[in-house]
Copies of this chain bind each other. A is one copy, B any other.
């Protein structure tokens, strides 16, 4: 892409865009994710000195030190099927005015927002018509990897393991992050071997993902939302519907090959012989069987791919997980079981926003450019805006400094 002449909304209409300086979107099959940066009112700093945007720009051009904007990264999500809610939110919060305008031809002003995911293509016309915004499309895998690398390197306590109801934060050594397997569980699942910044390959995937859980769950339980379905699974008992090894072997293990009587032999297998209709089952039990089936399958295929490439660490992201203890536990147990303890499943605090964060970080030209020296934008994290202590909440915002590197 050729460099473009940028005129920021901040310059042309400072009253409207004083707070929001930048945003990016990841529009998937089920959910649309939004990441945006809000500046603190006193947010310009240069070393220890507080300065104005103009000073920051001037200083950055004249020196090798970095201009910095202090503020907060915010995370939001919407159902893709309710894309209008997202449009309305952007409009009402005037987020799009924090985007950048491109003036190729006088009188033809284009506003750009970085966007990734299939919806960046599918809804491009809608954003143009309704908000006058052009979606500047970034490749989905590029963004997932960039987002994961950023979060793992920059955000403290971003990664954690979860096993036996114990979560444990993992200190990531920046020099020992690669290689790893990134498993992004959205509507479908992508598995990406990551070997370095921008160095990756999508090696596998499965169509049995979050969309399967939600789609089948909706049909089977009449739940109204993904969260309701997850909530139900907390209270369910999968043994009511799953055929266990013990159900086939008359209550005993199949010990010769190490299958306990409680192991699931066939997901939903009991439904074949019960003379029950769908209404006769407890929706909670169905939700639990479904969650376990899908989580276990993802854990298994992930492990097999990690094994194939000799990767010891598997990071799981995507909105399917939702920091749901049972989901994480099932995935962890699957990875642990199949790898005989050799591979480790790890989770990301901002699991659902990998793509959106990656799109956000890809902005080397738009939005913040007037504040920052040319080059890639970067970010240092001061602290997370924690919700209740110990509660994992993917929507939590991050207090950070943006700077050009």
| Interfacial residues, chain A to chain B (CB-CB below 8 A) | 28-30, 79-81, 117-119, 121-124, 139-141, 186-188, 202, 204, 206-212, 214-216, 218-220, 222, 226, 241-243, 245, 247-252, 254, 256-257, 264-273, 277-278, 281, 286, 293, 296-297, 300-301, 304-305, 307-308, 338
Chain B residues lying within 8 Å of A250, measured Cβ to Cβ, are 118-119, 121-124
- A266 and B140 within 8 A (CB): no
Known: A266-B187, A278-B219. A206 touches B300 (CB 8 A): yes
Do residues A248 and B207 form an inter-chain contact, with CB atoms below 8 A?
no
Q: In this complex, what residue of B is CB-closest to A79?
A: B273
Interface pair B207/A266, CB less than 8 Å apart: yes
Report Cα–Cα, A251/B209, bound state, in Å: 21
20 chain-A/chain-B pairs, Cβ below 8 angstroms = A28-B248, A29-B247, A121-B249, A121-B250, A121-B252, A122-B251, A140-B254, A187-B243, A188-B243, A188-B264, A188-B266, A202-B257, A207-B269, A208-B297, A215-B266, A215-B268, A218-B271, A219-B277, A304-B308, A307-B308
Which of B80, B211, B222, B257 is close to A268, meaning CB atoms less than 8 Å apart? B211
Compute how far the CA of A241 lies from the CA of B296 in the bound complex, rounded to whole angstroms: 23
Assuming the A-B contacts A207-B265, A301-B304, are A271 and B215 also in contact, with contact meaning beta carbons closer than 8 angstroms in the complex?
yes
Write the nearest CB–CB distance from A220 to chain B, whole angstroms: 6
Q: Report the copy number of this chain in the oligomer.
A: 2
Q: Contacts A117-B248, A257-B141 known; A29 to B211 CB distance under 8 Å?
A: no
Q: Apart from A29-B269, A30-B266, what are 19 other A-B pairs with CB-CB below 8 Å?
A: A29-B248, A79-B273, A80-B273, A119-B250, A122-B249, A124-B250, A139-B256, A207-B265, A208-B267, A208-B293, A211-B267, A214-B271, A215-B267, A215-B270, A218-B272, A219-B268, A219-B271, A219-B281, A297-B297
Which residues of chain B come closer than 8 Å to A220, judged between CB atoms?
Answer: 219-220, 278
Contact A215 B305 (CB under 8 A): no
Q: Among the listed B29, B243, B247, B301, which residue makes an inter-chain contact with A300, where contact means beta carbons less than 8 Å apart?
A: B301
Contacts of A297 in B (CB 8 A): 206, 208, 297
* Contacting residues, chain B, for A210 (C-beta < 8 A): 266
- B118 close to A249 (CB less than 8 A): yes
Q: Is A30 a contact partner of B219 (Cβ separation < 8 A)?
A: no
Bound complex: CA A124 to CA B242 (Å): 23
Choose among A29, A124, A241 the residue with the greatest number of B CB atoms under 10 Å from its CB. A29
Per the bound structure, the CA–CA distance linking A394 and B203 in Å amounts to 36
Q: How far is the CA of A33 from the CA of B282 in the complex (A)?
A: 32
> Nearest chain B CB to A26's CB is how many angstroms away?
12
A79 to B212, CA, bound (A): 29
How distant is the Cα of A270 from the Cα of B218 in the complex, in angstroms?
11
Partner of A272, one of B30, B249, B264: B30
Bound-complex Cα distance A80 to B211 (A): 33
Closest partner residue, chain B, to A256 (CB atom): B139
* CB proximity of A274 to chain B, nearest CB, Å: 9
Enumerate chain B residues within 8 angstroms of A222, measured Cβ to Cβ.
277
Residues from chain B with a CB closer than 8 A to the CB of A212 are 266-269, 293
Min CB distance A283 to B, Å, is 12
Q: Which residue of B has the minimal Cβ distance to A261?
A: B118
* Distance of A370 Cα from B50 Cα, bound (Å): 101
Contacting residues, chain B, for A338 (C-beta < 8 A) = 204
Bound-complex Cα distance A235 to B215 (A): 21
Task: A267 to B298: give the CA distance in the assembly, Å.
Answer: 13
State the Cβ distance, A65 to closest chain B Cβ, in Å.
38
Chain B residues lying within 8 Å of A272, measured Cβ to Cβ, are 30, 81, 187, 211, 214-215, 218, 226
Could you say which residues of chain B place their CB within 8 Å of the CB of A278? Answer: 219-220, 278
* Alpha-carbon gap, A277 to B139, bound state (A): 35
Q: Which residues from chain B contact A286 at a C-beta distance below 8 Å? A: 219
Q: Determine the chain B residues whose CB is within 8 A of the CB of A80 once the complex forms.
A: 273
